[in-house]
Amino acid sequence: MKTLANVFLGLFIFKAVLAAPPTAAINYDTDTYEVDLEELDSIYDYDGSLSIDQGEIEIGTVLPVVNRPIISPEHVPEEEEEAEESTPKLIDGSSPQGPLSPGVLVPETSGDISTCILCTCIRTTVYCDDHNLDSVPPLPRETTHVYLRFNRITKINKNDFANLNKLQKLDLTSNIIEAIDEDAFRSLSTLNELILRDNRLRQLPELPNTLNVIDVSHNRLGRKGIKHEAFKDMNDLHLLYLTDNSLDHIPIPLPDSLQALHLQDNNIQEMHEDTFCKMKDFSYSRRALEDIRLDGNPINLSKTPQAFMCLPRIPVGRLV
Ligand SMILES: *[C@@H]1O[C@H](CO)[C@@H](O)[C@H](O)[C@H]1NC(C)=O
């Protein structure tokens, strides 16, 4: 009975220690702190997988020696779990461990760590959503993904993303962008996703042909905002979202790779029979394009029945 009481008392103390502030309870291997930036750069690779063995990061709890014997093996995982929970995973201003916490990798070796203190950087992704920014902050050169949603950015300048030649995704949803410098995206030779939803954009700048996803829905492109043959050479373009832009035409030619074309809530009144298909080549089929939205436009799709012959599905829109 006395032994049992001891075990319970021990467990109680154990829990109390776990509840103590993590800085007091966790003791990191000092070696982990002393990894310099050069080494940090070499222990992660850019396809997103960590090459560091997670097991190398030791997380131990400093408990008073008197409690040690009471921790039976089945309690150890619980201890690690709790310790890990209190380990900050993100680099931001509030991180008590500073920017070099074990398990967190800084995406830059020289330059704009400052943005990773203001925002949050995980590996090569920069999360800068909802920070009241009125311009694009300086970004680490190794950045692959950038989230700048829900800020107050008004303009994208020529140099904002210059030299980010590893950038794959740029998300600027819900800002108040009115203009983008014509060459602002020119050097982005690996950009796959460009999200500009919910802005005030009147003109699309020059876009890289590497894009898979373009979302410019809910902007003000109007009649002249999209250049002639703007998407023609984008051979990997899958999704093109242009909803709610006061467009008065469908931006042809569209690449064969296209899977979804969202044009709802625009001002498109007519369509050519060659918009999607080829009237001179009846064997042509546009297999990939399964999702065309033309609802919310003053267009009567019944007028051009030939225009959908090569498509796997008739567009969504008014047919009467
Ligand atoms: C739509 O086009 C079809 C075929 O030309 C026509 O019969 C129909 O009246 C048109 N509907 C409207 C509302 O204009």
- Which residue of 270, 297, 299, 303 sits with most ligand 1 atoms within 8 Å of its CB, as the best mutation to test the pocket? 303
Indicate whether residue 320 lines ligand 1 (CB < 6 A): yes
Alpha-carbon torsion, ordered 282, 284, 285, 291, to 10 deg: -90
Which has more pLDDT, 152 or 163?
Answer: 152
Chain segment 76-103, per-residue pLDDT in tens:
343 333 333 333 334 333 333 334 333 3
Do the strands 59-61 and 26-28 form a parallel or antiparallel pair, or are they unpaired?
Answer: antiparallel
Indicate whether residue 269 lines ligand 1 (CB < 6 A): no
| Tokens standing for residue 174 | 């819900």
Q: Which atom of ligand 1 is nearest to the CA of 300?
A: 1
Mean pLDDT in residue range 203-207: 97
Whole-angstrom distance, CA of residue 128 vs CA of residue 146: 8
Which has more pLDDT, 142 or 33?
Answer: 142
Closest listed residue to residue 136, CA positions, set 150, 122, 166, 156: 156
Indicate whether residue 210 lines ligand 1 (CB < 6 A): no
pTM of the complete model: 0.68
- Amino acid identity, residue 46? Y
When the pLDDT of each residue in the chain is averaged and rounded to a whole number, the result is 76
pLDDT of the residue at 112: 64
Mean pLDDT in residue range 220-228: 96
Phi, psi of 89 (to 5 degrees): -95, -20
- Which residue of 294, 297, 302, 319 sits with most ligand 1 atoms within 8 Å of its CB, as the best mutation to test the pocket? 302
Q: Is residue 74's pLDDT more than 60?
A: no
Indicate whether residue 318 lines ligand 1 (CB < 6 A): no
Residue 298 CA to ligand 1 centre (angstroms): 12
Residue 320 CA to ligand 1 centre (angstroms): 5
Q: Is residue 42's pLDDT more than 60?
A: no
